[in-house]
Amino acid sequence: MLEMAANAGAATHRRALEYCDEKTRSFGEVVRHIAESVEGEHVLWATCTSPLVFPTAYARAFSAYEQALAEGYDSLMSVYTFRRYLWNAEGPLNYELGLKHVPSQQLPPLQFVTDGILIAPRQRMIEWSYFHGPNPHRFEVTKREAVDIDDTHDLLEARALLDTDPSVMERDPYFT
């Protein structure tokens, strides 16, 4: 993977093994180590498990990040807005059963962090030991851009989204 990135013109960094398994070191230590090991004023954290974030989304995110910093936010994180009936061990979290039940379209919107795009000042990442701060700008992404591949089902979903997205054929010279 490092060779592929280098061949594409990207600067690469090989982490020490202790920072690769999220068991030997905490995730916060991993983030701090990476931020300390790279150069630059700002860091874009783009996870390989979010491969459906295309260059146009990163361009939008960079613009939003610059504006967000000017507005007092400390970082940017990608989020996806959804409306679903949620439960925990005690019961419903965001709706009522019975006569007060509402269609999902009327539920209050919630967001989950997609981990597809995270941008912050490098020095602040080191201070926080994290890839975004306590006051991030929530950068909304599409359902496709929100895909996070953690298992085989997620991979199949990602492939299906690519197969049905005409913009892929326009942008990806390797798509046949």
More confident residue, 165 or 146: 146
136: part of which helix (H) or strand (E)?
strand 136-140
Q: What is the mean pLDDT of residues 79-108?
A: 96
Model-level pTM greater than 0.95?
no
* pLDDT tens digits, 123-133: 999 999 999 99
Which pair of structure tokens corresponds to residue 60? Answer: 């939008």
pLDDT band at 137 (very low <50, low <70, confident <90, very high): very high
* Structure-token match 């390797």, residue found: 174
- Mean pLDDT throughout 3-22? 85
Q: What is the pLDDT of residues 39-85, one digit of tens each?
A: 999 999 999 899 999 999 999 999 999 999 999 999 999 999 999 99
Mean pLDDT of 18-34: 91
Domains and CATH numbers, the chain: 15-168 (3.90.550.10)
pLDDT at 175 over 50: no
Give Cα 162 distance to the centre of its chain.
18
Report how far apart the first and last C-alpha atoms of the chain are (Å, whole number). 23
**Confidence at residue 83, expressed as pLDDT on a 0 to 100 scale:** 97
Q: How many Å apart are CA 86 and CA 157, to the nearest integer? A: 22
pLDDT at residue 2, as a whole number: 84
| pLDDT higher than 80, residue 173 | no
Cβ-Cβ contacts under 8 Å for 144 (sequence gap 6 or more): 52, 161, 165
Secondary structure of 84-112 as H, E, C letters? CCCEECCEECCCCCHHHCCCHHHCCCEEE
Neighbours of 149 (CB within 10 A): 18
Distance from C-alpha of 76 to C-alpha of 32, rounded to nearest angstrom? 17
